[in-house]
Structure 1
Amino acid sequence: MTKSHSEITGLYQAAGRGFGFVTPEGAAGREEDYFIPPRAEHGAWHGDTVAIRPDPGPAAPGEKRTAKVTAILRRGNPTVTGSVRKHGREAWLVPAGDKLREPIQIVGKHRAHAGDRAAVQVTSYGTSKQPPMGTLLEVFGRDGSREAAVESILFDQHIQREFPPQVLEQARQAPQEVPASARTGRLDLREKCIITIDGASAKDLDDAVSLERDEQGRPVLGVHIADVSHYVPMGSPLDVEAWQRGTSVYFADQVIPMLPTELSNGICSLNPQVDRLTLSCIMTLHPDGSVADYTIAQSVIRTTERMTYEDCNLLLSDADPALAQRYAHILPMLRDMAALAQILEARRKRRGSLDLASRESYILCDEKGHPVSIQARTPGVSEGLIESFMLAANECVAAHLSRLDAPAVYRIHEKPSQEKTEALRALLSPLGYSFREADHFSLQKLLDESRGKPEEFLVHTAVLRALMKARYDPQNLGHFGLAASDYCHFTSPIRRYPDLMVHRTLTALLEGTLTGKAGQKLSSAVPKAAKQASERELAAQTAEREIEKCYLAEFMADHVGETFPAAVSGVTRFGLFVLTALGVEGFLPVEALPGGRYAFDESRMTLTGPGGDVFTLGTLLEVVCASADPGSGQISFRLPGMAPGIPTRRISREGERPAERRVGKRPSRKAGPISKSRKGRKKR
C-alpha cells in the first residue's frame, strides 16, 4: 500500500496492552511520538514500519498526539521466537516477550514438540479470518531452560555463533608471525617498554601502552593499537562478516567474537614478547594533560609484559613485595602512568565530563556453565589508568581526522532532549535539587551534591536515564558525556567495526591513498558503516542484557526463599523493580506491598500507600526471592513477613503489563484467538 501526502511514516512500537506508539522517521526524540490507541494499529506488529494519519486537533496538555495506522509499509518480524504449544493436532508458537501478541500457527512438516523454544519464518501475518502462520526454522531446546533462552535471544538479535566457511578459510590463511616484509616502512618500537593491561581471562589484546619523558621532562604517552586493517582487507569475506556483526558480544563465561579467533586471539592480539603490527598514537603532553604534540604512525611493537588489572592494582598499592620484585623493571613506569592518569582525569572533570557512580557485577560459572557466584566489579587504579589513556588517544585521533576533514566514523553523544530534561527536573525537584539547563556542569553539580546521601542512587540513576544514547555518525558532533569536542573509537578494532574503519582512514592518510579510488570507496562506506555499527551495537547490548537476566535468574533459582538487602531501581503503577546488593534486579508487585491500594506518581516516580508509605528510586528495603525463571529471566520478590504465593505478573522493564495470549483458530481479529488453555565492558 502507498501512503498519502498527509500521512507520516514511522516505526510502530507495541506497548504490550493493545496500544502502541509510532516514532516518525527522523524524529529527534521520543517527545515526537504519536500514541496509537487500541484497535487503531491496523494489524501492525511491534517493529513494523507503518504509515499513520494523525487525528485532527491538538494533543491534550501533557499527552501525546494520537494517530491511526493506515498502512503497513514494511514488516519488522520476518522471524519470531517463542514457545511451542499444542491445540489438538495443531502446533502454535506463542511469541516470547510482551510485544508480539498474536500466536502463530506452525504449518508444514516440523519436528517441534509442545514445550520447545523455537523460531518460525512468518509466511502470513494473518487476516480478520485467519491467524498468522509460519514454518519452523529452528528448535533451541526446552522452553524454560537458560540454554534455550540464550540461543533464542541470539537468534532474535541476528547474532551468529558460527562463521561462514569462506571467512574461516581466509582467517586460516593469516600468518602466524609478522614477516620482515610487513615491518618495512613502519616505526620500529620493539625495543621500547610497552605493556598490555587487561582482565586475567582476556585473549583479544588490542591495546598496549607506554610512557617516557622527553628532554623537557614532559610525559610522552604511547597508545599502540593492533593493526587489524592490515589483515582484514576492505570488501573481503572477513570484512563483510565483521561489518555484519559490528561488534563482539560478551556475556557470562562466553564471547562471540567479531573476528575468528585465528585473528582475534592470534596474529592481531598484542601477545607478550612477539612482534605485532600496530597503529600508534604517541602524545607529548603539557603538565595539565593537554596535548602539546602528537604522532600517529604505522608501527611494529613487541610488548614487554602482559599485565592484568589485578596485578597492577596490587603493584600500585604496594601490597605484594614478591610481585613488586617480579615486575621491578616496569614498576616505575607503572607508577608514572598512574600519576598521569590522575592528571588526565582531573582535566576531563574540569571541562565538564560527567562522573556517574555505577554498580557493576560479573557472573562466575562452573565448568558446566551454571552460574555459581555473582561478584561486585570494583574498578581499581589500573582500570582507570587504561580508561584515561584510551580516552586521550580516541580524542587525539578524532581531532586529527576532523582537522584534516577526512571521512571517519565518529562516536557522538548529544545533549539531553527537552523532554528528558523536563522529566529529570520533575523527578528531582521534590528532593530539593534544581538546575536551569542540562549542561555538563549543572548535571555534575547534581551528581556531586547527592554523593553520600540516601538519594544518591536515585539522582545518579535519573541523570543517567536523562542522557541520550551514544551512537556512531560520519559527522563530528562531539561527545556530551565526556565534554569532548572531538571523539571517535580507535582503540578496539578487534571487537568493534567503527575502530577498524578509523584505522583504514588513518592508514589511507599515512599512505597518501585517500584521494585515489580506494579513498573514494572508503569515503562512501563511512556513512553505511556508522549506521550499521550503531544498529549492531544496540543488538549486542540488548542480547547481553537479556542473556544476563537469564543467568541471574538461574543463579537466583538456587536461592528462592532467601532474604537480600536491596534498593528500588524502578517504579511502575504495577509495582517496584528492586536491585539487590548482589546486582540482581527483579520485580516486587504492588499486591505484595502492605497496606492496600497504592497511588502511582509518574512524574516523581513514587508509589504511595494509604498509610503514607512512599517508595521511590533508591528506597532501601529487604526482599525475599519469591521465584526465578531462567527461561524468561524473570525474578520476583516479596517483602519479609508477607505470605508467599502472592500472584505475580510478568512485566517488562518499561513497566507495561502484557496481555494474556491464547492459541487456536479465531472467528475474527476483534474477538482474538480461542483456546481451552492460556499461557514476558569495557573500554570506551
Structure 2
Amino acid sequence: MAKKKEKKAGKRMTKKQLAEKLVDFFQAKPDEILTLKYIFSELRLTTHPLKMLCIDILSELQLDDYIVEVDKGKYRLNRRGKELVGTFHRKSNGKNSFTPEDGGESIFIAERNSAHAMNNDKVRIAFYAKRKSRDAEGEVIEIIERANDTFVGTLEVTKGYAFLVTENRTLANDIFIPKEKLKGGKTGDKAIVKVVEWPDKAKNPIGQVIDILGKAGDNTTEMHAILAEFGLPYVYPKAVETAAEKIPAEISQEDIANREDFRKVTTFTIDPKDAKDFDDALSIRPLKDGLWEVGVHIADVTHYVKEGGIIDREAEKRATSVYLVDRTIPMLPERLSNFICSLRPDEEKLTYSVIFDITEKGEVKKSRVVHTVIKSDRRFTYEEAQDVIETGKGDYNEEILALDKIAKALREKRFNSGAINFDRYEVKFDIDENGKPLGVFFKVSKDANKLIEEFMLLANRTVAEKIGKVPKNKKAKVLPYRIHDLPDPEKLDNLAQFIARFGYKIRTSGTKTDVSKSINHLLDDIQGKKEENLIETVSIRAMQKARYSTFNIGHYGLAFEYYTHFTSPIRRFPDMMVHRLVSKYLEGGRSVSETKYEALCEHSSEMEQIAANAERASVKYKQVEFMMDKIGQTYDGVISGVTEWGLYVELNENKCEGMIPVRDLDDDYYEFDEKNYCLRGRRKNRTYSLGDAITIKVARANLEKKQLDFALVD
C-alpha cells in the first residue's frame, strides 16, 4: 500500500520539488560520489518522466556549479566553494545563518551542517556553490572561537540527571546536566549553566551548573538572571571591595594645597530623590552686573582609583553602572561611589571642575579646567529645585534662579544651532519591598532637570574643545570623544514617507542644521497629539546611536563639533579615562596610544549597549509582572511596532507593551509591508498600521519569556 502511495506522490512531483529533494540529498552526503542508479533508487524515482526530469535538473545543477560529474553518470557536491570565516547565528527555529567577517550577504546554515556551533561563535565554513534563485548555503567545518558558552534557565531535576530549560531564542534544545554537575540545584531553581560539550550525535548540549541564582519567580533571582543573561556581573568581587575599604576617606592638607579652594563658595547638588552617588555639584557667585562665576564640580574619582590597579581593572571591565528597575549595579565599589567620592552635603570633597565666567545670556567669557576642593551646602532633589524655580522661594533661591536663567539661554542657543530636542518621558514603577510592581508613573524632564543637563553639556563640550580644538597645522592629542553621526539617509526618507500619512513633512537634504531644524519643527508640531509618542519613536529609530571614539566627527544630536564625557566618572569608565588624559595633557604630557584608547572606546560603547538592553529587559519583566492579574481586562492602546510575526501594542494607561501574534488575526491572510510599517490583509485589504488606535484584551502573561500577549477586541 505504502509503495503505491509513494508512486502516486512521485507522479505529482513538480520540477521545483524534485530540485529541492536533490539539493537536500547531495547536502546530506557531501563527501560521497552518487550514481544515477543510486539517486533514482533512494529518491524512489520509478517512472520514466521522473527519471528524465531528474537528469534534466542534474545538468542544471552542474551548470550552476552546484555539483560536479566526476565520471559518466556519477555526481558529487561541488566542495570547491571557498572557505569563509565569520559569525554563526543560531536560531531556535533551525534557520541558522552565517555572516562573513569581511561583509557580504548572510549564508544559510542548515542545522545538520552547523557542527553544533553556538550563537555568535566565530566559525569557518565551506561555502556551497551558489545556485540561481536560491539562498547561499554553507556548512560549518571549524569552530574557531566560542562566543558564549553559558546560559541562564530553570532547572528540571529527575532521579538520574537534569535539564536546564532556557528561554533563549537561540537555543532549540534544553541543556542536559549530569547529576554530579548540579551544584545542589533543585527543580525550579534559576541557574547559570556552562556548556562543556556537544557530542556529534547528541541532540542536546551537555553542561554543568556554574551558579544557582535562587528560586524562579523571586525578585532578586530574576534581576540577577537578567544580568547573567546579558553576561553582566551580579555580585561585586570581594577582593575589589576589600581594596576599596583600604582607601582613606580623610583629605590631607597636601591634597588641598595643590587645588583651588571652593569650600566657601555657595555649592549644591541636584539629583533624583533616590540617588546616593552624587557625582556633580554646581557652585555660583556673582562677579559683576550680569556676569556670574559658575563651577561644574565633578567627583575626582581618579584621585582615588589608580590606573591599572584592581579597582580600575574592574571598572574598565564593567565600563558602566547598570540601572535595572529596582536596583543599581555600580561600576565602582559602594565605598567609593556612595561615600568617598559622592559629593554629600557638609562634607569636604575633592573634585575636578570646569569653571566658567558666564553672562545671564549664556555667553562664556572665560573657562578653565582645574582640580578643586568643595563643600556642598545643600542637597536638592529635582522636585525641591523645581519648586524654587516655580515659586521663586526657598533655599538659595537667588542662585537657583540665576542658574535657571543661564541654562535656558544655553538651551535656546543649542537649538538655534540645530540640536535635536528629543524630550521623552520615562516609565517608572512603584515597587514594594519585595520588588512587586504596585503601579506605573511617568518621569518627565522639567526645568530643574534641564538646568543640570545644560551645565553638564557645557562642561563636557568645554573639556572636549580644550583638548580637541588645535590650530590647523597641529594634530590634537588622543581623547575619547562622545560622537554621533548624521542620520542614515534611507531611514530619513522612510521617516518622511511615514509622517506624510499624518500630514507632516521634514527635510531630508540640505545642511546638517536644515535637517535637524526641520526634525525639531516636527517634534514641536506633534506635541500633545495622539501620534506624538509614535512619531518620536520612529524619528529616534532614524537616528544613529551615539558612541565613544578617539576619531572625532562631532555630535549631530547636540549640534556640537567637540563633545566628550567628563561629568559622570562614578558611573562611566570613559569619564575616568578623560579625567586622566586631561590632567596629563594640561600638565604638558605627551599623547597616548590611539589604538589602545580606540579599543577601550569600543568596549565602553558595547557595554553601554548591553547595559541598556538589560535595563529594558528588567522593565519588560516588571511590565509582565504588573499585568499578571489583569488577564481578560480590556485596554485602549496604540500600535507601537509592526513585524511579520505580529503587532506590538502599547497601552495608553500604563505604557505596558504586548503583542498580538499574526496567527491570531484569523479573519484574513496578512502580509507585512516593511516600508509602510503595516500588516495588510490579502483578501479584504484591511490594514493595521503603526500608530493606529486599537482596543485589546490581555490574553497571556509569560514571565519566563517576559512576554505579554494581547487579543484584538473588535
Aligned: 1:563 with 2:563: no
Which of 208, 227, 232 does residue 159 from structure 1 map onto?
A: 232
Task: Please state if 1:468 is matched with 2:544.
Answer: yes
Residue 352 of structure 1 is matched in structure 2 by: 418
* 2:91–2:172 Cα contact (<8 Å) kept: no
> Per the alignment, do residues 77 and 638 of structure 1 end up closer, same or farther by CA in structure 2, a change over 3 Å counting?
same
CA-CA distance at 1:418 after TM superposition: 4.7
TM norm structure 2: 0.80
Cα distance in 2, alignment partners of residues 196 and 456 from structure 1: 33
2:673 matched to 1:607?
Answer: no
* Aligned counterpart, 1:487: 563
* One of 255, 260, 263 as aligned partner of 2:328: 255
In 1, distance between residues paired with 2:390 and 2:289? 29
Alpha-carbon deviation of 1:625? 2.3
Residues 258 and 9 of structure 1: is their aligned pair in 2 closer, same or farther, counting only changes over 3 Å? same
Report the counterpart of residue 663 of structure 1 in structure 2: none
Specify the alignment match of 2:553 in structure 1.
477
2:694 aligned residue: 621
| C-alpha contact (below 8 Å) 2:86/2:101 kept by paired residues | yes
Within the candidate set 4, 10, 18, 2:86 is matched to 10
In structure 2, the CA distance between the partners of 1:281 and 1:99, relative to structure 1 (3 Å rule), is same
SS at match of 1:564: strand
- What CA deviation, in whole Å up to 9, does each residue of 1:483-541 have, x standing for no partner? 221111111000111101111112212344x23xxx75x86752332122122212211
Distance 1:251 1:546 in 2: 9
State the 1:577 CA deviation: 1.0
Question: Given the superposition, is the C-alpha separation of residues 64 and 187 from structure 1 closer, same or farther in structure 2, using an over 3 Å criterion?
Answer: farther
Provide the C-alpha distance between the structure 2 equivalents of 1:59 and 1:397, rounded to a whole number of angstroms: 57
Q: What displacement does 1:150 show? A: 2.0
- Amino acid corresponding to residue 95 of structure 2 in structure 1: F
* Corresponding residue number in structure 1 for 2:172: 101
Cα distance in 2 for partners of 1:21, 1:483 equals 39
Unaligned runs of 5+ in 2: 1-78, 471-475
Q: Which moved more, 1:365-374 or 1:488-497?
A: 365-374
Residue identity opposite 2:463 in structure 1: V
Q: Tell me the CA shift for residue 65 of structure 1.
A: 7.4
CA–CA distance in structure 2, aligned partners of residues 221 and 633 of structure 1: 46
2:461 is matched with 395
Equivalent position to 1:296, from 341, 360, 369: 369
> Would you say the 8 A contact 2:99–2:107 is kept in 1?
no
Amino acid aligned to 1:527: E
Root-mean-square deviation (Å): 3.0
Pick from 410, 432, 436 the counterpart of residue 508 of structure 2.
436
Local SS of the residue matching 2:428: strand
- Measure, in 1, the Cα distance between the counterparts of 2:137 and 2:530: 40
1:68-217 equivalences in 2 (<5 Å): 69=140, 71-85=142-156, 89-107=160-178, 109=180, 110=182, 111-129=184-202, 131-215=204-288, 217=290
Deviation at 1:135, TM superposition (A): 1.3
Q: Which amino acid in 2 is paired with 1:544?
A: E
Q: Using the aligned pairs only, state the percent identity.
A: 33
Shift of the 559–112 alpha-carbon distance from structure 1 to 2, 3 Å rule, reads same
Give the deviation of 1:262 after TM superposition: 0.9
Per-residue deviation, 1:18: 2.3
Shift of 1:414: 1.7
Tell me, what secondary structure is at the counterpart of 1:603? coil
Contact map agreement 1:59 1:65 (CA 8 A) in 2: no
CA distance in 2, matches of 1:73, 1:242: 29
Q: Distance in 1 between matches of 2:126 and 2:492?
A: 29
Report whether the alignment pairs 1:539 with 2:610: yes
Bigger radius of gyration among the two: 2
- In the alignment, structure 1 residue 384 sits paired with structure 2 residue 450: yes
Is the Cα–Cα contact under 8 Å of residues 84 and 92 in structure 1 kept in the other structure? Answer: yes
Give the 3 Å change call, closer, same or farther, for CA 25–484 of structure 1 in structure 2. farther
Pick 1 or 2: higher relative contact order, CA cutoff 8 A, min separation 6.
Answer: 1
CA distance 1:435–1:68, shift in 2 (3 Å): farther
TM-score, normalised to structure 1, is: 0.83
Amino acid paired to 1:599: E
Residue 658 of structure 2 is matched in structure 1 by 586
Aligned to 2:473: none
**8 Å CA contact retained: 2:493, 2:508:** no
Distance (whole Å) between structure 2 residues aligned to residue 500 and residue 235 of structure 1:
12
**Cα distance change, pair 97–78 in 1 and its aligned pair in 2 (3 A):** closer
The answer on 1:315 being equivalent to 2:388 is yes
Deviations 1:554-592 (A, max 9, x none): 121133333333211111223211112312111122344
Partner residue of 1:456?
532
| Cα deviation, residue 5, structure 1 | 11
Q: Which amino acid aligns with 1:273?
A: D
For 2:250 and 2:102, the matched residues in 1 are separated by 48
Distance 1:20 1:419, change over 3 A: farther
Range that drifts further, 191-200 or 166-175:
166-175
Which protein is richer in helix relative to its size?
2
From the superposition, tell whether residues 263 and 6 of structure 1 become closer, same or farther in structure 2 (CA, over 3 Å): same
Aligned residue number for residue 333 of structure 1: 399
Separation in 1 of the partners of 2:138 and 2:559? 38
TM superposition shift of 1:269: 0.4
3-state SS of 1:558 partner: helix
Q: Which residue matches 2:300?
A: 227
Q: Give 3-state SS (helix, strand or coil) of 2:630's partner.
A: coil
Q: Which amino acid aligns with 2:690?
A: L
Contact 2:98 2:109 (C-alpha < 8 Å) held by counterparts? no
Partner SS, residue 138 of structure 1: strand
Following the alignment from structure 2 to structure 1, what is the Cα–Cα distance between the partners of residues 84 and 404?
54
Distance 1:213 1:119, change over 3 A: same
Instruction: Give runs of aligned pairs for residues 277-296 of structure 1, distance below 5 A.
Output: 277-285=350-358, 289-296=362-369
Map of 1:501 onto structure 2: 577
1:361 alignment partner, one of 427, 445, 449: 427
- Tell me how far apart the structure 1 counterparts of residues 143 and 422 of structure 2 sit (CA, whole Å): 42
8 Å CA contact retained: 1:490, 1:502: yes
Quick one: distance in 2 between partners of 1:500 and 1:116?
Answer: 39
The 1:177–1:58 alpha-carbon spacing in structure 2 relative to 1, beyond 3 Å, is farther
Contact kept, 8 Å, 1:52 with 1:70, in 2: the verdict is yes
Question: Equivalent residue for 1:552?
Answer: 623
8 Å CA contact 1:10–1:25 kept in 2: the answer is yes
Give the C-alpha shift of residue 151 in structure 1: 1.8
- Distance (Å, rounded) in 1 between the aligned partners of 2:500 and 2:307: 52
For 1:34 and 1:483, the matched residues in 2 are separated by 36
CA contact (8 A) 2:81 2:127 kept: no
CA shift digits 1:84-136 (9 cap, x unpaired)? 34577442223322122232211350233333322211111342456321112
Report the 3-state secondary structure (helix = DSSP H, G, I; strand = E; otherwise coil) of the residue aligned with 1:332. Answer: helix
Counterpart CA distance in 2 for 1:157 and 1:411 is 24
Deviation at 1:50, TM superposition (A): 2.8
Query: 2: CA distance between counterparts of 1:59 and 1:187?
Result: 73
Give, in whole Å, the separation in 2 of the partners of 1:481 and 1:245. Answer: 26
Q: 1:179 to 1:119 in 2, by over 3 A?
A: same
Q: CA deviation at 1:265?
A: 0.8
2:219 touches 2:435 (CA, 8 Å); kept in 1? no
